[in-house]
Amino acid sequence: MNATLMHDAIFYVMYFSLAAALVIIIERSIWFAWTRRQASQLAAVLTTETHALPESVTRRSSVPLRAVQPVLARKAQASAEALSDEVDAQYLLSKAAMTRGLWLLETVVTAAPLLGLLGTVMGIIDTFKALAAAGVSDASQVSAGMGTALYATGLGIAIALVCLVSNNFLQNRMERINELLKVLLLRAATPVQRAEPVAGPQDNGVRRYA
Question: pLDDT tens, 87-138?
Answer: 899 999 999 999 999 999 999 999 999 998 888 888 787 777 767 766 655 5
- How many domains are contained in the chain? 1
Which of 1, 23, 21 has its CA nearest to residue 13?
Answer: 21
Considering the domain boundaries, does residue 204 fall inside one?
Answer: no
Q: How confident is the model at residue 21 (pLDDT cuts 50, 70, 90)?
A: very high
Mean pLDDT along residues 126-154: 69
For residue 186, what are the domain limits? 3-192
Considering the domain boundaries, does residue 199 fall inside one?
Answer: no
Instruction: Provide the pLDDT for residue 81.
Output: 85
Considering the domain boundaries, does residue 141 fall inside one?
Answer: yes
Highest mean pLDDT among 58-67, 125-134, 158-167, 198-207: 158-167
